[in-house]
Amino acid sequence: MESTPINTQDKPAAGETVEVVDIARILRAIPHRYPFLMIDRVVDVVCNQSAIGIKNVSANENFFQGHFPGHPVMPGVLIIEAMAQTAAVLVVETLGPDAAGRVVYFMSVEGAKFRRPVQPGDQLRIHVTKERNRGNVWKFSAVARVDGVSVAEATYAAMIMDRATEA
């Protein structure tokens, strides 16, 4: 996960709510692009607390060509990536201008569980909650749901670092 600022105002207060982060704002917040952008929108962002990422799973997703022909299933690792991207948007919204020039790196994934397959036509709602942060290290828990039913969950950590300058 890598981030650039999308909130150019003052740093938001903890608990400040942002109704919707649309795709244009997501593209300013994180560097991911098709085919690796795994969220379409982020809603119910409560700065420094939680957010819900939305992924509309389409039959046109490139990964369905090989996973699996005749029985399309969204790879679990991509569900985890959607969780991480949702958390990255939450971090950028929380840090505001302090996110400028910073990169968010995955550090660990723990307790990942997959409850049922995610297929074309499903809408993933990824509920991410910040558990804590100490310095540049943030820990999150997430549950991905389809139609209100849990399909995956995980706890993960990320480190926010200054972007290295390219040679």
32, 67, 71, 127: which is the annotated catalytic residue?
A: 67
Locate tokens 């804590």: which residue? 132
Return the exposure string of 92-103: e unless at least 16 CB atoms fall within 10 Å of the residue's CB, then b: bbbbbeebeebb
Q: How far apart are CA 157 and CA 140, in angstroms?
A: 6
Locate tokens 């607390």: which residue? 49
Amino acid 40 reads D
67 is catalytic: yes
Burial (CB < 10 A; 0-12, 13-18, 19+), residue 80, is buried
> ω into residue 140 within 30 of 0, thus cis?
no
Q: Please give the C-alpha separations between residue 4 and each of 136, 160, 163, in angstroms, as whole numbers.
A: 16, 11, 10
Structure tokens belonging to residue 4: 């650039």
Residues recognised as catalytic: 67
